[in-house]
Amino acid sequence: MKNKILIAILLFTHALCYSQQKITWEDLAKVTYTDKFFPAYDDYFKHPDFSASVKALEGKKITITGYFLNIDPNGKLFMLSKGPMSACFFCGQGGPETAVELQFTNVKHFKTDNIVSMTGTLKLNASDVEHFNYILIECEGELVN
């Protein structure tokens, strides 16, 4: 009997260690911004200061649901947005915390504005203005019904 209990505890612990954490857009909203000058671009950009709770998500496998957007005519830049294309952050309807750059292991093509659940490893980006503040690497997605 003790062996069965021990095995059950080990299996439960293993599942917790390797499962992804589901997060919401409210989790990613815990960030503040200051304007920072980037000499290479001769311009100011919003520089994120991630909260401790957001920093704790870095490097973790997470799942988040949102609207899929293919924003590159060559099909090489994809993002997940809190809102549909007409209400995404670059249309003035939110900030950078309402979008996640998607870097796929195997690109799966969804239609713009499909509601999808994406799972991948979260990377925080505060210094490279050519990428989003939130990047989901090695991500995989599925349509939400």
The confidence score (pLDDT) of residue 105 equals 85
Kindly state the tokens that stand for 141: 């997605």
The confidence score (pLDDT) of residue 92 equals 63
Nearest 10 degrees: Cα torsion 66, 70, 75, 76: -60
The values of phi and psi at residue 17, to 5°, are: -70, -30
Q: Residue 142 gets which letter from DSSP?
A: E
First to last CA, the chain: 42
The confidence score (pLDDT) of residue 107 equals 83
Can you give the pLDDT of all 145 residues of the chain as single tens digits? 655 444 444 444 444 445 689 999 999 999 999 999 999 999 999 999 999 999 999 999 999 999 999 888 787 889 999 999 887 666 666 788 999 999 998 888 899 999 999 999 999 999 999 999 999 999 999 999 7
Q: How many residues does the chain have?
A: 145
The confidence score (pLDDT) of residue 125 equals 97
The confidence score (pLDDT) of residue 94 equals 77
